[in-house]
Structure 1
Amino acid sequence: MIIRPSLPTDAPGISRVLTALTAAGLRVSPSDTDFALNNYIENPNGIECSVATDPEGSILGFQALLMAVEGNHYGVTPGWGIIGTHIHPEAIRQGIGGKLFIATRSAALKANLKFIDATIQNYNTGGLAYYESVGFRTYETNEDAIRKVFDLS
């Protein structure tokens, strides 16, 4: 497995991961190539988007870290990081998320972040367990989601 920064040419592979998650009932947001490019790879508030690939270059998963700005969609405190982790359903339980988080944590430290937010839908038990396993802790819950924070300070 290779972990590396994403490139614009990764948008179709990221889209395939998102589409597979939608088909598995684990995602409801858009999954098209333009969405992948604009929201993850070339997001103006992006700090880092890393991909995990197999030896042939197929994308197994990715992790995006954004800077929370005033009025962000998630209501995250401005100046915090916002993380999203997406692993192809056929590639779960292979340690991909943990390896991606090594790169993301490094990028967060370089960006001088103190906290990273992960907002996870209540039904995403795998995502909730993953974030706990890498050190995120619950700081808020509502009827739809559980919000977890990673403290970098």
Structure 2
Amino acid sequence: MVFKKRKLGRKITDLQVGDQHEMKAKVEDKDLLLYLGLTSDSNPLYIQHDYAAQTPFKRPLVPSVMLYGMVSSMVSLHLPGPGSHIVKESMSYPKPVYHYAEIHLEMTITNIDETGHCVTIDIKGTDEENDTVILGKLEVCPPYKLESLTAKSLENFN
């Protein structure tokens, strides 16, 4: 894995305002259990049906941080892609997301700051009823153009 050559995402010069990426994700039990196991989060609102039934939500919720993880993975995998780093985020979750929901996530580049090597990305997520469940804005540092390791290795030879 360490030596496997991986393609980096799009450099800042390859991005344009208006570039988009969309994906759909379904929240499955295995995803929730992995998140809860990794974080040791034992909030009964996320896992106990009997507790959640007594709240205004009526059933268990998907943790907001888990939804943010889906957004973060879109940045890492797609736009700008591998080598990117989120440096600032502002997210809101206007409607709860329940277990087994299918989320439609859309991201759009709204600003490019080449001097600061940063792009602004707007995020919107909707559920099956087309209700907004995630609204946000990210500032992302796209991957840097790297100099080849061999580019200067033969400079001493004439």
Query: In which range does the TM-score fall when normalised by the shorter chain?
Result: under 0.3
Instruction: Flag the structure with higher helix content.
Output: 1
TM score, norm. by length of structure 2: 0.27
Please identify the structure whose Cα radius of gyration is greater. 2
TM score, norm. by length of structure 1: 0.28
